[in-house]
Structure 1
Amino acid sequence: NGVVVSANSTVLVGVNAQSKDECTCPVWRPPAQCQAGLCHNDGACHNTHPGFFCECRNDLLKGSRCQGTTRSFSGDGFAWYKPMPACTSLNISMQFMTLQPDAMLFYNGPMDTKNSELQIDYKDYIIIQLKGGRLAMEISMNGIAPVSLEVASTALNDGVWHELAVTQIGKYIELVVDQCRYLGAGSDDSSCRKSVYTPDDDERLNIVAPVQIGGLAPLSGGQAYPSAIPHTGLNGCIRNLRVNDDQYDLASPSYERNSAAGCKLWGGACDSNAIDSLTHCVHGDCYADVQGSTPMVPKCICDPGWGGPRCEKKIEWIQMQSGGFIDYSPKIAFPEQTNDIELLFIPGRVTGAAELTYGADKSQNYVSTSAEMTSDGLTPMAKFDLGGVRNSLTQLKISELSLKENSSYWMHFTRNPTRASLSIDDAYYTSQVLDPTGNSQSFALQVSELFLGTHSGGRGFQGCVGTYRWSNQNLPLRRPQNQAVDPDDESIVSITKSEGVSDGCSLLITCAQLPVGYCSGTMVCMDFWKGAFCTCPEGANAMLGDDGQIIGCGETLAVAKLGISNPAIILILVSLVLLIMLVMLMLVYARRQATPFESVRPEDLNRDNLRPYAIEGGGEADNDQYSIANLRKPVMPIDGNGLSLGPPAPAYTRPPIDDRLRSQLHDLESDQNAAPFDEIRIYEDEKDTVSVVTLESLGSIPETERQQNVGFCSFL
């Protein structure tokens, strides 16, 4: 606030300034609204007031913020990503699959050992690798002697996906394999877990170099990595890399070599030959094992609101009334050591506490999720009490987020012998480290009761549910209308009792409820699990603003999106090659040269009607078959009415013609097949079977007959 100064003289004004330093961990925190770079790979950002939602316009990007989840390496490759934050607590988790016993999985540390007076040389680094098929880690927090950990597990190079988790809290460091999900009660946890306290004074990693996964980049000059770092690259795949709950975008590394998005080990198991999706899972993330119990069989992790074997079935919403619930009966036993609960819900109006999910065993050991009204607002919470010696209740809550009663949320709660975590919309996280050795039964829960909604009476939950999963299995939300068995039913539980449940959700805002013209320009309204948003039509190019929101839609892409796998492409190419070969064979057969016509030998010629073309030339027959009979008839004399003005021509009398010549002339004139007059004709034979072809033969005719013939020709 300003201060009013009223004086008629010079006034000296001073400014009091103060600063306050705060040490915080520079980890990613979800913003209250869209901002630049929030959604990766050209994903469109939508404000949810408060919060955001990323619309991924690429089927291959399955991260909550459109990150690529999987990357493949060929043994001599690597990929660079942003450095890890310098915090006193560190959480790293990722999954890997390979068939080789020795491989570099993760490295973050110095890439130059040269000292400089202008730059502090930090020697901090962390290495995670496979040694002889076992997981090993080495970490140095600027100490003299690095700390090494190795988990004495079975061989992990078995072609099956495995998960590793690194936890560092101050000087405490822990390495866990596969969440210790196979750890039995009272057994030694050394087969899945290793922990140690570092003697270093510093409690955080000071690293400014990029994170490298799958291998190490070659260095030039005098640069070198720490001596303890191996250089064997990974021939396999890595997926779901998270550092302090921030999922890295494996599809877009800062720098890479001999690596690619996806996983080459499973081949075409996750490819699709359908036009509705590029991958096997239409609305979900696909993965597969190379070996194991189900080799090369695609598995799907469906997006919220979708189910079915290929995540192709949209799950319809239900609404809970006051005191409503659904009681389930499991058909098979769920894993005892771990719990994995996922719920898509709209809180509705809550007074006090609203229990969302509940699972318990026969001893009333339980795990539950709820939304409770606190001083921070409507807070998502998770609780579990597994009995044992301590008989203590463990509770997790996300205080930084206040739920809205008419907004949809995706809750995910996981529990294993070493850690329990709770997340909302894959953006807000909280977790707690557990000690499996402190209680012999702290991780065992054989679920025999499952509930959705309030299981103990009262008003409870009065909102809507769009998806309910337990151990990656979609639980039914309504009873089937008929008793027919659905062959595509993937649920391993059935509904025993359902009360206060109705179809649909009055709290959910859909595009059908919005007025016509709600979306401006060429944008259209589409329903997502987070709500109804205005976006570009499918196939159109979305133009993004500075904050990542859609500001317009470009022209529709000319190439349609077709889902086709590599094996299908190979099959199509082979078919095309075979078709081309068949066509060429038919053309060659059709154009095959026929046997040339053999010339007629002279002795085989019929001299009366056949002559070689080379001897006498082509005939002049009427090929068009016109009637030339009139041309062979004598032309009648023109009467006196012609154009001639002179005296009429004198009349000549025809000399008499003998009967024999008259008969021949009549035969010639009446012959319809005769050739035109300009053709050489033969009228007389010499009685020696030789045709008269020259005038020299006239000398052999008797004088009287010759005079008679010459006179007749003169007459003609």
Structure 2
Amino acid sequence: GNGWAWYPALQLCEQSHISLEFITKEADGLILYNGPIVPPKTDEQLLRDFISLELEQGYPRLLIDFGSGTLELRVKTKKTLDDGVWHRLDVFWDSENVRMVIDFCRSAEVFEMEDGSAPEFDDNSCQARGPIPPFSEALNLNVPLQLGGIYRQHFDQTLYHWQYAFTSKGFDGCIRNLIHNSEHYDLAFPALARNSYPACPQTDEVCLKTDHTARCWEQGNCVASLVQAKCYCRPGWTGPTCNLPTIPTTFKPQSYVKFALSFEPDRFSTQLQLRFRTREQQGELFRVSDQHQREYAILELSHGHLQLRFNLNSLRAEEKYLQLNAIAVNDGQWHVVRVSRYGSAAMLELDGGEGRRYNETYNFTGHQWLSIDKQEGVYAGGKAEYTGVKTFEVQSDFQRSCLDDIRLDGKHLPLPPSMNGTQWGQATMARNLERNCPSNRPCSNVICPDPFDCVDLWNEYECTCSEGRIMSADTKGCVDRNECLDLPCLNGATCINLEPRLRYRCICPEGYWGENCELVQESQRLKLSMGAMGAIFVCLIIILALSLAFVLYNRKRKTTKKKRAGPEKDVRETVISYDDEGGGEDDMTAFDITPLQIPIGAGGNMPPDIATCKMPIIYPVMTLLPGQEVNVGFLMEERKNRFDKDPNAPPFDDLRNFTFEGSGSIAESLSSLASGAYRHTPTTVATTSFIHCTDDENQDYNYLTGWGPRFNALAAMYVHHDRTKLTRVVATNETALPALKGGLTSTNLAVTTAAATSCGMGMLAKTTAAVIEEEDEEEEEEDEEEGNVAL
């Protein structure tokens, strides 16, 4: 709002056209001013010419003075222009009239009559006209053109006798595409400026925040308002981010393409852009028309030059022409043409549209609408006229030429054979087309003299210097061409001429990049769309919830484990856990084994942190006095006690686990000892016997008879007697002991003793134990005798 920039003054011309585009959110501000910047002096001729363009309460206002009086033009648009959208202003003047047009008059109200009579065209919302006060014929300016504000000495505007005063408030917004009489102003390099910058930060920020336009790659430009952005691809490129090259098509003789549109074209405006290359003089590039071919617009070649002709009257011919007679386009090079039509006004641009490459007709007279048949009214390469059932002839045949990247109203149309359809249209008919745009190899049979090379100029050749070189002054040799003389480097870059093969190199200033420093470097900042931020936020919430659930689950699990006591802490002596190996073998009586532990150290228990070494026990050596005899029994008893006290002497204590404890026993528990169960008793004769034990019934000892003749006496003592009689017989019959001693083996004695003990028969157990004890004493006496003999 407080900035300005200086540029060269507007040139003096009989007819002038100045146009620019602007965007703002402020209702007031000076857009353009060219006029005096110092107060007038009394002793010199008064030069009062000036022109100013401004916004006042959101509406455009033009002041112009040729020196004979000030003309004011205002346009009351349907909406104010401070809406954050790009708007275009066009100002036309000659020696008599001035006209101001807003946005190509797209807001005008048009009423077309069906009988073909003159239509009604209400342009009050988009156009204003006014006559120049007499006695002055031109706008004579010799001071800098100022944009966005004004820098001048403060003086009273009435000193110049202006009938109207312009605003001094600066413009807060962006201005682009300033053109005066087909000359483009480079707004990036003002002669003097304050608080103004190249590009448009407000719209650039919108481009960066929009996902599909955050990067339009190198082959596209982001064009944005303050509310939305879009990528506009350069000619020859397509795709959402302009990273896909288009594929050209070669049109052979009698070739054409017929399109069917998928959208409804605007009747008031038509936009066409395409690329082409040709060596021909005549040919029709593109055509749109109504169903009966009465309303049409045709882009064609006429004697090697571009020409646009169109007719908007469906009843009679009112054809208008636009030509570019100064530029020949049949040079075999690629050219880009743009056609813009707004009602009866039309603009024709070639390769950028500057100078002689631009022509226009900007009068809104006559009919304004062009009806286009979507199925039968769109052709490329010429229109086919069928002369028979299978024969046709193409009028104005565009042959031996190429077309590429056709856009109608900004929408890409397909070109067979590489593409037959897009979302905007389909190629319904196509004849004699070839993919790509190859040359006919004219250098294949040409030999050029040294040092010249044959250069393929697409379907033609030329013997000339190779790339990066130019012909010498005597036309007999080649020298290096200084490409820096063409000023290829933009935005203040430094150009360095290199060898012919490398041509040149541009050293870009800070903030620019590209081969010619034509691209603005994007600031490195983190850009996240709202969708991406929402996805990240949802993921963080999910991760937090899962983490919280995991922590709560672990805490609950630990609490459960603490409340559940293990079997080792169970103090109930009647509960046995059988899920562990060796279950039921625990000491249920809580027997203290401390007294059974043999101390290792001399002083009893050793501290756990002191290492001990096991030393062999040294026993005293027995010495015999003269005449003393050896007591074998004492010696055996003394060695027996020594071994019993030796902790390292075998047998060692061990734990033996039996897979099936009590295998073969009918009893299921120890409590069955008091019941009438049978106990299995193995014998040495490989037979199975059972001792039937009950508390209420008499015992049956018939199994003793099966032990052989040596046990007959014992069997006779117990068979057919109850427990009371058996006790008396065993107590009084001492004569049976010798027989019992002679007949019992050690195994049978153990079995008999076990059987007697389990049945609760005290006398039988005592009798059996006495027999075993007597046999042990006899064996000891025999051992002593053998020991005495050995000694």
Q: TM-score scaled to structure 1, two decimals?
A: 0.58
Match of 2:526 among 560, 568, 576: 568
Q: Does 1:229 align with 2:176?
A: no
Aligned pairs for 1:237-636 (under 5 A) are 237-271=174-208, 279-280=215-216, 282-290=218-226, 295=227, 297-350=228-281, 353-364=282-293, 365-373=295-303, 378-387=304-313, 391-417=317-343, 419-426=345-352, 427=354, 428-436=356-364, 438-439=365-366, 441-448=367-374, 449-456=377-384, 457-458=394-395, 460-462=397-399, 463-479=401-417, 491-507=423-439, 519=467, 543=495, 552-553=504-505, 564-565=522-523, 567-568=525-526
Deviations 1:234-289 (CA, angstroms, capped at 9, x unpaired): 21111211111111111111111111122222352223999x99953531332212
1:144 aligns with 2:69: yes
Give the corresponding residue for 1:126: 51
CA deviation vs aligned residue, 1:633-670 (integer Å, no higher than 9, x gap): xxxxxxxxxxxxxxxxxxxxxxxxxxxxxxxxxxxxxx
**CA separation of 1:519 and 1:258: change in aligned 2, threshold 3 A:** same
Matched AA of 2:139? L
- Tell me the distance in 2 between the aligned counterparts of 1:672 and 1:181: 106
C-alpha RMSD of matched pairs (Å): 4.2
* Correspondence for 2:786: none
- The 8 Å contact of residues 94 and 163 in structure 1, kept in 2 or not, is answered as yes
Q: Based on CA coordinates, which of the two structures has the bigger radius of gyration? A: 2
Residue from 124, 137, 158 that aligns with 2:83? 158
1:326-350 CA deviation, whole Å, 9 max, x = no partner?
A: 1111111112111111121102223
Distance 2:92 2:16 in 1: 6
The aligned residue for residue 114 of structure 1 is 40
Give distance in 2, aligned partners of 1:357 and 1:116.
62
Query: How many angstroms does 1:362 deviate by?
Result: 2.4
Give the aligned residue type for 1:143: S
Give the 5 Å matches for 1:7-156: 75-115=1-41, 120-156=45-81
CA contact (8 A) 2:10 2:180 kept: yes
CA change 1:445–1:335 in 2 (3 A) is: same
Asked whether the equivalents of residues 284 and 396 of structure 2 are also in contact (C-alpha less than 8 Å), the reply is no
**Equivalent AA in structure 2 for residue 331 of structure 1:** S
The CA distance in 2 between the partners of 1:420 and 1:192, in whole Å, is: 17
Query: How far is the alpha carbon of 1:444 from its aligned partner?
Result: 3.7
* Contact persistence 1:240–1:248 (CA under 8 A): yes
Q: Does 1:169 align with 2:83?
A: no
Deviations 1:370-426 (A, max 9, x none): 1111xxxx1111000011576311011111112233122111121113631212112
Counterparts in 2 of 1:388 and 1:90: CA distance versus 1, 3 Å? farther
Flag structure 2 segments of 5+ consecutive residues without an equivalent.
112-119, 385-393, 441-455, 470-485, 514-519, 530-609, 613-791
- The structure-2 alpha-carbon separation of the partners of 1:139 and 1:447, relative to structure 1 and needing over 3 Å to count, comes to farther
- Work out the CA distance in 2 between the residues paired with 1:84 and 1:153: 31
The Cα offsets for residues 22-78 of structure 1, whole Å up to 9 and x where unpaired, read as xxxxxxxxxxxxxxxxxxxxxxxxxxxxxxxxxxxxxxxxxxxxxxxxxxxxx1111
Amino acid at match of 1:451: Y
Going from structure 1 to structure 2, the CA distance change for 1:481 and 1:132 (only over 3 Å counts) comes to closer
1:152 deviation in Å? 3.8
Give the drift of 1:220.
5.8
1:205 and 2:139 are equivalent in the alignment: yes
Change (3 A) 1:285 1:380: same
Alpha-carbon distance in 2 for matches of 1:260, 1:407: 37
Cα deviation for residue 554 of structure 1 reads 7.4
Q: Which amino acid aligns with 1:453?
A: G
* Counterpart secondary structure, 1:300: strand
> Amino acid of the residue matched to residue 503 of structure 1?
R
SS of the residue aligned with 1:265? Answer: helix
8 Å contact kept, 2:63–2:70: no
TM-score of the superposition, structure 2-length normalised?
0.53
Cα distance in 1 for partners of 2:323, 2:196 equals: 39
Q: Which amino acid aligns with 1:266?
A: T
Aligned residues: 464
Q: What percentage of aligned pairs have identical amino acids?
A: 23
DSSP 3-state at the match of 1:110: coil
**Secondary structure of residue in 2 paired with 1:179:** helix
The separation in 1 between residues aligned to 2:13 and 2:497, in whole angstroms, is 33
**Which has the higher relative contact order, 1 or 2, with Cα contacts under 8 A spaced 6 or more apart?**
1
Cα deviations by residue, 1:268-313 (Å, 9 ceiling, x for unpaired): 2223999x999535313322122xxxx2x32123222112222221
Give 1:430 shift: 4.3
Per the alignment, in what secondary structure is the counterpart of residue 476 of structure 1? coil
Q: 1:520 to 1:356 in 2, by over 3 A?
A: closer
Counterpart residue identity of residue 269, structure 1: V
Flag structure 1 segments of 5+ consecutive residues without an equivalent: 1-74, 484-488, 522-533, 572-670, 674-716
Equivalent residue number for residue 193 of structure 1: 127
* TM-aligned CA deviation for residue 111 of structure 1: 1.3
For the residue of structure 1 that corresponds to 2:124, the secondary structure is: helix
Secondary structure at 1:268 match in 2: helix
Q: Any idea what SS the aligned residue of 1:269 has?
A: helix
Within 2, Cα distance between the matches of 1:229 and 1:482? 56
SS of residue paired to 2:2: strand
Higher relative helix content: 2
CA distance in 2, matches of 1:371, 1:481: 25
Pairwise CA distance, 1:114: 1.6
